[in-house]
Structure 1
Amino acid sequence: MHHKPFKSFFASRGQIDTSVNTARAGTAVAAPPRIARVVLGYEKRASDRVVTTVAEIPAELCAAELSELRAKLGTGGTQDGEKLVLQGDHRSKLTAHYEARGVRVAGERG
């Protein structure tokens, strides 16, 4: 939405039309995809390395979600198909993060 500081001034003088734009009012705007549920996993890999996986994130949100989680947790991570793989055991932090956003959490919660 754009800031229009003089809109009310010109409307009071009758110089602009303040009615609703009917072309926009009739169009439906698709809601952006939302994460409704995630499945957390925990894997031990070679050399006792541990990773936390996050699955069931919509494909169009995977890259943005990975970037947000890496910054929030201060860890490395990658995208493996439609699953996010984060270095280290972050199950409890991820559970709190997603529950605060209203996302259902399934799998290994830590």
Structure 2
Amino acid sequence: MSQSISTDVAIIGAGPAGLFAVFECGMLKMRCVLIDTLEATGGQCSALYPEKPIYDVPAYPSILAGDLIERLEAQAAPFAPVKLLGQRVDGLQREGDGFVLTT
């Protein structure tokens, strides 16, 4: 089944940087699609070490990886990104003044 989604920004990778990008784009009134091969957001923080403390996040001397992802999810939630989880980007083609991604 083929699905077409029009958006302002496609964010490939739903780890901490991808989740924060959703928030930043939302603040700029940009619609986002978040794409990741994993079945859940959070990247390695969720998949491999949710109980591991992280020491290099601004404003947090220490935070558990799972807690960081929960907070980033909460921060991004008001902007309601379309999430395409469990999907890999297989192609990128220029089309007119935009691009077409295929998963």
TM class, shorter-chain normalised?
Answer: under 0.3
Q: Indicate the structure (1 or 2) with the bigger Cα radius of gyration.
A: 1
TM normalised by structure 2 equals 0.26
